[in-house]
Amino acid sequence: MKYIVGVDIGTTSTKSIAFDLKGNVITKKNIEYPILNPEPSWSEQEPDEMLSAVVESIKHVVAENDARGNKLIGVSFSSAMHSVIAVDEKGKTLTNCIIWADTRSKEYAEKIKSSELGHEIYMKTGTPIHPMSPLCKLCWMKDNAKDIFEKAYKFISIKEYIFYKFFNEYVVDYSIASATGLFDIYELGWNKKALDLAGISEDKLSRPVSTTEVIKGMRSEYADYMGIDVNTPFILGASDGCLANLGANAIKPGDAAVTIGTSGAIRIISDKPKNDEAERIFSYILTENHYVLGGPVNNGGIIFRWFRDNFSPLEIETAEKIGIDPYELLTTQASKVEPGANGLIFLPYLLGERAPHWDANSKGVFFGVNITHKREHFLRAVLEGVIYGVYDVGRALEETTGSIDTIYATGGFVRSQLWVQMMADVFNKKVVIAESYESSCLGAAVLAMKALGEIEAVEQVEKLVPISKIFMPNRENHERYMKNFEIYRRLYSKLKDEFVNIEMLQK
């Protein structure tokens, strides 16, 4: 049997999954690595540790498939966005891998964002001006790590580092490039104004190529170690966010993919890039004909976890005793409260927020507390607030790109019927749960199938992702939620300045 390995170089681990050509998982291997925080605002990872996780996980799935007599036809990659590594002329790292969560360039991002040039660069590159963006990271490095900045031969992402090790060549796929803040998504080339602002010339960056680009001729020491032929096709692939849409089958006009795991995101696919004058959403490349537009939220499932860990000791104890998940007990409690939590509204911005406000100072708020509210109202308001946060971005997306009909949901929140139904009701749209939980790896494998001529169009992913459940919206609940949501929306703009004041108090 033929198989493809989809490799997802993520933030907590690298996952390699072997898929057959019908999209079934044959075997998988996950290898974790830590996030390093040498300073409070810094988030880094060790490039060689990530390289080793990639190599070892591929080696593992290849060995298992060899034992079954299966034939490897390609390896394709998903990777987290926004990483930066400075390397010297010999390819030796001068920095760790500075990841998306790093906020050291916050002041640079604020300054660029408030300038006209910043707006112009966003409109060309599709990447929101934010400390996550390599553009802002390079601006920081230029002033604060001068030696490294001047010595650097290239500035690359983790995927480019791995491809360089394997093939001795610096290449970057359009998808990863489109999340750097340096790449013109209309022209498919590096953007001169962004490069000037970052203080670099084009030769400091890799050669941009299509996400279905195939590379062969691997250095034999790596091929031998992984037990594969040096001419095995390696497909560049795309970013994890873009591939999550593809792997969840949210690829047709009107489809949206919503993920609520620790953080969250809502994304749609468009055949053209479209940028938002108000700078609320991103526009990244999946292929030359598929642009992924959307917004990430910091405050996803982690907020439910916060409520569980800080306000639910009894539930945790009881759940342990009866052998169920505490989240299940908590969602049952929340289901006893009517939609709208009797007028209690929660702003979930405990971790500041990216889309739609891109405001690191924003905070959480319970609003409208009255004497009838009990603990479970607070619990329900928390679950509703997380959904309002994603819905707010969904509305911005619809304003920019046209209406959404169906939501394909993924991430830990799909384990709760109550929470998914809440999403269907708040959005007033059908929500589909796909069976695949490994959407980024599957998305990478689908790009490989296209690149290798096994399928004609990536839209054929539809046949590879079975649907496990559909939730239909309830109109009456939608109307109730909308009354709260209108207040929710106004609260942020009314409280914006106070968030800054409280932030100052904490300094």
Give the residues lining the site for ligand ADP (CB under 6 A): 261-262, 301-302, 304-305, 325, 327-328, 331, 411-413, 415-416, 419
**Of residues 418, 455, 423, the one with CA closest to residue 251:** 455
Q: How many CB atoms lie within 10 A of CB 88?
A: 13
In the complex, least distance from residue 319 CB atom to ligand ADP, rounded to whole angstroms = 10
Range list of H helices, 298-374: 301-311, 313-322, 326-335
Q: How far is CA 265 from CA 262, 358, 365, 409, 479, in A?
A: 10, 13, 21, 10, 24
136 membership: H or E segment, kind and range? helix 134-144
- The answer to whether the Cα torsion of 160, 164, 166, 171 is positive or negative is positive
Residue 234 or residue 304: which is nearer to ligand ADP going by CB? 304
Residue type, 303: I
**175 or 439: CB nearest ligand ADP:** 439
In the bound state with ligand ADP, the residue whose beta carbon lies nearer, of 172 and 350, is: 350
SS3 13: strand
In the complex, what is the shortest distance from the CB of residue 108 to ligand ADP, in angstroms, rounded to a whole number? 28
Report in angstroms how near the CB of residue 313 gets to ligand ADP at its nearest: 17
Q: Are 200 and 191 in contact (CB under 8 A)?
A: no
CB nearer ligand ADP, residue 30 or residue 460: 30
Bridge-based pairing of strands 2-9 and 71-79 is parallel
Taking the complex as a whole, the smallest distance from the CB of residue 53 to ligand ADP amounts, in Å, to: 16
Q: Which is nearer to ligand ADP, 195 or 303 (CB)?
A: 303
Beta-ladder partners of 402: none
Residue 423 tokens, joined = 């999403």
Min. distance of Cβ 328 from ligand ADP in angstroms?
5
CB of 177 or CB of 256, closer to ligand ADP: 256
Q: Shortest distance, CB of residue 287 to ligand ADP, whole angstroms?
A: 25
Residue nearer to ligand ADP on the CB measure, 141 or 302 = 302
How many whole angstroms separate alpha carbon 78 and alpha carbon 443?
Answer: 8
Q: Which is nearer to ligand ADP, 120 or 309 (CB)?
A: 309
- From first CA to last CA, the distance across the chain in angstroms is 60
CB of 325 to ligand ADP, least distance (A): 5
Taking Cα atoms as reference points, which of 181, 194, 50 lies closest to residue 128? 181
Question: Minimal distance in Å, beta carbon 327 to ligand ADP?
Answer: 3
Provide, rounded to whole angstroms, the least separation between the CB of residue 9 and ligand ADP.
14
Contact in structure between 22 and 464 (CB atoms under 8 Å): yes
CB-CB contact of 39 with 89 (8 Å): no
By the 8 A CB rule, do 53 and 13 touch? yes
Nearest CA to 214 among 62, 77, 82, 83?
77
Give the residue nearest to ligand ADP (CB). 412
Tell me how many helices (H) and strands (E) the chain has: 17, 23
CB closer to ligand ADP, 121 vs 393: 393
State the nearest-atom distance from the C-beta of 296 to ligand ADP, in Å.
12
Choose between 83 and 299: whose C-beta lies nearer to ligand ADP.
299
Coil, strand or helix at 254? coil
